[in-house]
Each structure stands twice: as structure tokens, then as C-alpha cells.
Amino acid sequence: MEPIAIKKDDEIIDLQTAKAKNIDIESSHKIYPENSKEALEVIRHSTAHLMAQAIKELYPDAKFFVGPVVDEGFYYDFRTNEKISEDDLKKIEKKMAEIAKRKLEIERYEISKDEAIEKFKDDDLKQEVLKSIPSDVVSIYRQGEWEDLCRGPHVPNTKFLKHFKLMRVAGAYLGGDENKEMLTRIYGVAFADKKALKDYVTMIEEAKKRDHRKLGGELELFMFSEEVGAGLPLWLPKGARLRSKLEDLLFKAHRKRGYEPVRGPEILKSDLWKRSGHYQNYKENMYFTEICDDESKQSCVEYGIKPMNCVGHIMIYKSKKRSYRELPIKYFEYGVVHRHEKSGVLHGLFRVREFTQDDAHIFCKPEQIKDIVIEVLGFVDEIMRSFNFSYEMEISTKPQKAIGDDAIWEVATKALKEALDENGHRYGIDEGGGAFYGPKIDIKITDAIGRKWQCGTIQVDFNLPERFELEFTDSDNSAKRPVMIHRAILGSFERFIGILIEHYAGEFPFFIAPIQVIFVPIAEPHVAYAKELQSRLLEMGVDSEIYDSKDSLNKRIRNAEKQKVPMVVVIGDKEVEQKSVAIRDRREKMQYNLEEKEFFEKIKEKLSEVRF
């Protein structure tokens, strides 16, 4: 098998570049055309260029901006006078396959930035790309008659590009700037073999059926309204029921583990946000308002609507003197936060402007960090297993935009690694991906159809306690600085519920289902018994509905099953007379009869399925 690139000192280098730099290819780690992370990065990058070449041949007036690799594939942003729709993707794919079969060599060459500016003087989009390149030398990749500015790496020949599919057409602002023109963006995927591509396409088709925006409407869980504003979800009764069940379970789980509930305001003076560093490092994601004490507006004070809950919890910690005997102190809050997200990135419950975090902050001594992180990891494990999620961990290190010196960051990062190592967790490293105030562990879950989602996070913070001069009195009566651990397990209720909807395809486990039981009385004389059972279920915290409309029995049963409820209970003469129920159990895919006592024992058993 021919290699498509090499890896040297953790850098992927294409064969053309390796030869130009006299790097010994034979002694390097070779990357072959397979479905590894490194190989797919190269294959997808080159397939983006293949797509651009096909578009150029089909639409000669097309001009191109950028075409990077993204998590699930690649895209290219471009401009053309012709409107391109989803219907055109097959035509573009066909042209791509034709070009790939030409077995074009992919060549790399370098020119000075000034030469590039002259070379592309008639291409305004290339001029925009060149503005963002700091180097005096730029690289260009050429295949046949098509070429583009690019850092690479790329496969050596188009013959390696066989298994791809274009997924969708979208609009994208030039450089992500809403004030600039809208370009056309085409997304695609590519793999090293036919099976991997087929499996991915099958997964995408399944994902469409599970789309939480679609199911959220069909199951009457939540809605969005342009009159209310983009990114601001409205929770309908059934969705609010589901959410409250999740909140109640987590509240009890927190209290059981020694967390104390607290509540902070949704707006705080901007001076606090300046002190925390959010004003300088996070201002573009925040909303601000002014409160004025007089009509002349001579004494106005700026307030920031909180994007995070940490500052409020810091002020609660500072409300009195603290002793080492109290530590660790664990505060938790279902904190409503607001973040200024651009309209182009809003996506159902996954990306909103208002959301509620299952947030906690733990104040501890430095020597307690490892044990606390291990304890939190155990909490994470219990929750994820209750929802049948597998998950993985990733440590994110100091970003470019950060507060605090390197020594503090090194101590915090080391503590996280030690906790994961001691607990036997495997983990990856995301260099530069930490929060501006500290390194973190990101928890990434895998759903029922194999997709990965970023959810919870555990962050070690030495910096905010320093900025706010937090203290505790140690055993020798000296004043010491505590460490602050930021922790969210779900991440946000909105995002996590969106993931749950897609994970379960709307068929929630009994303990959080918005409607857990639907009673279908066969006739009017059976309604009273259904109401009696419904009343007893409500006392147990179980939500149910009675379908006693004038529709036929079969239609009412079908309508009940469309709601994806765990349990449909049919009641007729026999059930009323014998004090029993006829059950259709959706999750167990069974039908059976139970006496009334057995029915309530079954309900208790189903409620106990949750393990956190």
C-alpha cells in the first residue's frame, strides 16, 4: 500500500513537502489511506480541493475563499453567479469522480506573499485569504489546471480520492462576519473505503429521523418563536415535565454528595466582570445593560448579564470567614446564563442564547484537588451509565488568551492528569483548549448511533481565587488561598435534553419520560377507574394522561403509541371488575396483564432504574 503522508514530531506532512525539505520518508511514521484520524484529515482536505476543482469546471465564474477540514468532513466557501442547490450535488459529485480518475499529481510550490497578491490580483476572495496570512511566503497546491492557496497537507495524487459524498449546501458569511457578503458553502465527507462511507451515510439518515428539532415539535416538548427572539427556547408542558424530572433527580444526587444549593443574580456589576477577567476575555459573548438612579442619567452603573455562575458563587464564599475545617465547600446551582451567539451558529437546543447550567463550584485546599476530581469523575460515571452513554475524557491546556502565570497552569494541569491516571481513565490532550482562567477535563459522550457530543467539564482554577482574594484560615491560623474547581456534568439542560431526544429517538426511559403512562379506557364506564389510577400515580410523581375521546379504540391506541410513551394501559370491563390493567410496554416490547398491586410495584421498579 502506498503512503499518502508522513508524521514527524506530531506534525502531518505530505510527501511533496517532505521531499522538498529533504525529510527522510522511510524513517518517518508513514500514513496510509485508511480511516485513522491522521489519514482522514489528509484525505478530506484533498477531497475539498477536488470538490473545488469540480465546481470550477462546472461553474467557470466561481471564486473560492477557504476549504478546511472540520470534525465530520470538509467544506468550501465560494461565490458563483449561478444559484447552487441540493439538487446540484450529484452533478458535482459526478464531476469529482471524473477528475479523480484522471490521476492528477498534486503539486506544492511556494511564492512570496507579494507575488501571490499580484498573481491573484483579480480575485477578491483570494485577497481576503492573503490578508490573514502573516508569513512572507505562501504555499500553493496545484492539480491539473486548478490551484489554490493552502498550507496542506494533501495526498500525492487524486487517485486516492474515491469514497466521498456531498452532504448539503448552506450559506456562510465571508470570514464569519455578519456584515460581509454571504457565500455559498458545500459540506462533504470522505473516507478511505466504501464501507466506512456507507456506514456514515446510514448514520446520517438515522440522525435525520432523530433530529431533536423535529421530534421536539412532534412530541410537543419545546418551541422557538421569532417574536420571542432567536436562540430563546420556550418549554411546553411536556418538555417542562421532562426537564423538571431531570432537575429533581440531579438535585437529590447533589445533596447526597454534600453539595449545598445556592442562587446568584442574573446580572452583576461590570466591575466584578472586570475583576474576574470576563470583561477583557469574554466581553464579545456577553450582554450588558445600564441601571440609572435618576432621569438625567448622571449616575448610571453598567451591569453584565452573567454568561457563567462562578462570580456569584465566589461572592457567596466571601460572605464570611472560612476555616480549613469547612473545606471542601461545594456549591451548586441551576444557573440561567446568557451568551451572545451569532445567529448563524444557533441550532435548536444545541446552541442557544439562554440556557441553564447544572453548575457547581468547589472550594478546596490544593492537596484536595485530586480526590475531589476523582469523586466528580465517579459522579459523572453514574449519570452517564444511567442514560446508557459511553464517554471519553480530554484535558484542555492553557489557551493563548489566558490569565495567570505558567507555573500555576502547570500545577493545575498536573492535578487533572494525576486524577485521571489514578482512576484508570484514558484521555486525550487538547493543546490550548482550556478556559481563560484554568485547564479543564472535557467529557465527551457517545450516543446510540455513534456520534460524539461535548457535555460536562471539570476545571481547576487558581486564578479567580487570587483575583478575588479568597481566603481560609488554616490549622496554623495563617490565611491561605483556596483552589476553585468549576464543574458541570450535563453542561446545560438545554443541550443535554437535545442530546437525550436524539439518543433515545424520543423514547425516553421511564424515570424522565414527560408522559410515563397513557390510559386508554375502552368505553365511558371505564374512565373512572383510569382516573383513580392516574391520581395514585401522580402521588408517586408519575405523569399520565387519559385518552377517552370519541375516536375508535384502535385509533386512540395508535395515537398513544405515537407519543412514544413507555407504557400504554388499556382498561375494559375485565380490568375494572378484577382491579387489573392490560399493559402495552413500549420499551420491553411486550403486552401483559397485571393486578393493580403488581402494576404499582412495576411502576416503582421502573422509577428505580436511575442509578445516580
Q: What is the pLDDT of residues 71-120, one digit of tens each?
A: 889 999 999 999 999 999 999 999 999 999 999 999 999 999 999 999 99
Q: Could you tell me if 362 and 438 are in contact, meaning their C-beta atoms sit under 8 angstroms apart?
A: no
Mark whether 148 is an active-site residue: no
What's residue 304's pLDDT?
95
Q: Which of 210, 243, 254, 339 is catalytic?
A: 339
Residue type present at position 604: K
Share the mean pLDDT of the chain: 92
- State mean pLDDT over 276-299: 87
Q: Specify the 3-state DSSP secondary structure of 559.
A: helix
Query: Facing residues of 484 across strands?
Result: 363, 461
Confidence of residue 281 (pLDDT cuts 50, 70, 90): confident
Q: Which of 14, 77, 358, 359 is catalytic?
A: 359
Q: CA triplet 288, 292, 294: central angle to 5 degrees?
A: 165
Q: Which of 486, 495, 526, 564 is catalytic?
A: 486
- The DSSP result for 258-303, as a single string, is T-EE----SEEEHHHHHHHTHHHHSGGG-EEEEEESSTT-SSEEEE
Which of 337, 370, 365 shows the shortest CA–CA distance to 352?
A: 337
Query: Facing residues of 146 across strands?
Result: 143
Q: Could you tell me if 349 and 233 are in contact, meaning their C-beta atoms sit under 8 angstroms apart?
A: yes
For the CA atoms of 558, 564, 565, 571, the dihedral, rounded to the nearest 10 degrees, stands at 10
Residue 515 parent element (H or E): none
Mark whether 440 is an active-site residue: yes
What's residue 359's pLDDT?
94
Higher pLDDT, 483 or 9: 483
**Is a pLDDT exceeding 80 seen at residue 510?**
yes
Q: Which of 150, 310, 364, 455 is catalytic?
A: 310
Residue 538 parent element (H or E): helix 527-539
Lowest mean pLDDT among 233-237, 449-453, 468-472: 449-453
Taking the C-alpha atoms of residue 395 and residue 411, their distance in angstroms, rounded to an integer, is 14
Q: What are the φ and ψ backbone dihedral angles of 148, each rounded to 5 degrees?
A: -155, 155
Confidence of residue 67 (pLDDT cuts 50, 70, 90): very high
Task: Quote the cell numbers at residue 575.
Answer: 380490568
Q: Specify the 3-state DSSP secondary structure of 381.
A: helix
- State mean pLDDT over 249-267: 96
Mark whether 165 is an active-site residue: no
Reported as a single tens digit per residue, the pLDDT across 600-609 is: 999 999 998 8
Which residues, 6+ apart, have CB-to-CB distance to 555 below 8 Å? Answer: none
Mark whether 486 is an active-site residue: yes
Q: What are the φ and ψ backbone dihedral angles of 278, each rounded to 5 degrees?
A: -65, -40
Confidence of residue 167 (pLDDT cuts 50, 70, 90): very high
What's residue 387's pLDDT?
93
Q: Specify the 3-state DSSP secondary structure of 442.
A: strand
Confidence of residue 229 (pLDDT cuts 50, 70, 90): very high
Is the pTM here over 0.75, yes or no?
A: yes
Mark whether 339 is an active-site residue: yes
Confidence of residue 9 (pLDDT cuts 50, 70, 90): confident
What's residue 356's pLDDT?
97
Phi-psi bin for 9: left (phi > 0), alpha (psi -120 to 50), beta? left
Mark whether 150 is an active-site residue: no
Q: How far is CA 363 from the centre of its chain?
A: 27
- State mean pLDDT over 170-192: 92
Mark whether 556 is an active-site residue: no
Q: How far apart are the first and last CA of the chain?
A: 49
What's residue 473's pLDDT?
97
Query: How many other β-carbons are positioned within 10 Å of the β-carbon of residue 605?
Result: 10
pLDDT > 70 in the chain, percent: 100
- State mean pLDDT over 489-512: 95
Q: What are the φ and ψ backbone dihedral angles of 229, each rounded to 5 degrees?
A: 135, 150
Q: CA triplet 107, 108, 109: central angle to 5 degrees?
A: 125
DSSP 8-class letter at 159: G
What's residue 412's pLDDT?
84
Taking the C-alpha atoms of residue 432 and residue 503, their distance in angstroms, rounded to an integer, is 30
What's residue 153's pLDDT?
94
What's residue 192's pLDDT?
95
Confidence of residue 176 (pLDDT cuts 50, 70, 90): confident
**Is a pLDDT exceeding 80 seen at residue 295?**
no
What's residue 71's pLDDT?
80
Reported as a single tens digit per residue, the pLDDT across 550-566 is: 999 999 999 998 999 99
Give the HSE-up count for residue 534: Cα atoms under 13 Å, Cβ half-sphere: 21
Taking the C-alpha atoms of residue 512 and residue 297, their distance in angstroms, rounded to an integer, is 49
Q: Which of 440, 487, 564, 606 is catalytic?
A: 440
Q: Which of 162, 245, 322, 361 is catalytic?
A: 361
Taking the C-alpha atoms of residue 413 and residue 459, their distance in angstroms, rounded to an integer, is 9
What's residue 529's pLDDT?
96
- State mean pLDDT over 302-328: 96
What's residue 353's pLDDT?
96
What's residue 609's pLDDT?
83
Reported as a single tens digit per residue, the pLDDT across 564-587 is: 999 999 999 999 999 999 998 887
Strand spans (E) along 113-159: 137-143, 146-149
Residue type present at position 41: E
Reported as a single tens digit per residue, the pLDDT across 398-430 is: 888 887 778 878 888 888 898 888 888 888 898
**Is a pLDDT exceeding 80 seen at residue 367?**
yes
Reported as a single tens digit per residue, the pLDDT across 182-203 is: 999 999 999 999 999 999 999 9
Task: Quote the cell numbers at residue 79.
Answer: 461565490
Q: Which of 357, 368, 459, 516 is catalytic?
A: 357
